[in-house]
Amino acid sequence: MPDCDMLDVAFVVPLDGPAGMFGPSCEACGVLAQEEINAGGGLLGRQLRLRVVDGGAPPDVVASEVAGLVADGAVQAVTGWHISAVRQRIAPLIAGRVPYVYSPLYEGGETTPGVFLAGETPGRQVLPALRWMSTELGVRSWCIVGDDYVWPRVSAAAARRYAPSCGAVIADEVFVKLGTQDFSAVLRRVARSEADGVLMFLVGSDAVQFNRAFAAAGLDASCVRFSPLMEENMLLATGAANAVGLYASAGYFESLPTADSLDFSRRYVGRFGVHAPALNSLGESCYEGIMLLARLAERAGALAPAPMIASAEALAYSGPRGDVRMHGNHLLQNIYLARANGLEFDVLAELTSGG
């Protein structure tokens, strides 16, 4: 029987696979959110408890486990960072039964009732970055390299639509299986394309392997890289020598010099210490997802999809990303562009205002 004093949330984060490398950051940020909510009196008078589900397992396996928890009444909501292929399996199985706050950046277009999106979308993250790269760096041709599933495919299609308005062209695009280790054939395609830049839609260890091979092939001497999914763990694994000319955009970077971001870093280090998992945009998105769930429930007065949907539009608050607000079922936030500098990111520009 469920504990009536506890409010249980399925926390779906990657513990293995290509995205497993940032699972510890996601878990730590989730714990911080849980503890802060509980220290403030809990959620709707109950203490919040996260039940970790391995989001790095095959999508059907993850969806089956989450659906089973919901059907048994073991969880009253779902949130976390996991790839879109997992979200697309989970959403229809739990639609209308419990709220589902999906925290990552994603390809856009999710309309399942009761699904709320906390992350960045291509129109607010990739489009302004391509414009900035064209104007500031003169990058006018791109080769897309992505993993072969929904987020890279749909995002690549969006980039093709955006390119003409940025004075750019997509010279080639290549998709690889999740978990790819050998990028030699991909690098030959990149070289033949003679593109000014590589637009990366690669996840976790796939991006790391690509970055290492890219630099080893000497392509970093003539071609920049840009990724909407490149964070501090991946940069550390890539290595400073392999990250020359590497750019990223996100709603949060650990090095973001704002009062809200600095305060979040202080609380994170204060809770977990200086040797904690790297604080990054993906972990922070898990914190954001839990906080969004709490804000929606508090505003609606219930942890149920229908009243949360009805009250979502007017929601606005401040957090590590600064001022954020809901528009439809999406959370809008400021988006920043950064360049790798050694093993850190230098934030260069604000691309999109969250207002």
pLDDT tens per residue across span 57-102: 999 999 999 999 999 999 999 999 999 999 999 999 999 999 999 9
* Cα→Cα distances 186→154, 179, 190, 248, 331, Å: 20, 14, 6, 21, 35
> For each successive 10 residues of the chain (355 residues), what is the average pLDDT?
79 92 94 97 96 96 98 97 96 96 96 96 96 96 97 97 96 96 96 97 96 97 96 94 97 94 96 93 96 96 95 92 95 96 95 81
Tell me which residue has tokens 């500098």: 341
Q: Which of 215, 213, 245 is nearest to 230 (CA)?
A: 245
Q: Please tell me the pTM assigned to this model.
A: 0.94
Q: What's the confidence (pLDDT) of residue 1?
A: 45
At residue 18, the pLDDT reads: 87
Instruction: Report the pLDDT value the prediction gives residue 212, as an integer from 0 to 100.
Output: 98
**Distance from C-alpha of 47 to C-alpha of 307, rounded to nearest angstrom:** 21
Dihedral (CA of 65, 280, 95, 70) sign = positive
Dihedral, 205, 206, 209, 211 alpha carbons, nearest 10 = -110
| DSSP classification of residue 79 | E
pLDDT computed for residue 177 by the predictor = 96
Rounded Cα–Cα distance for residues 273 and 166 (Å): 43
Question: Which amino acid is located at 138 in the chain?
Answer: G
Question: Distance between CA atoms of 155 and 163, rounded to whole angstroms?
Answer: 12
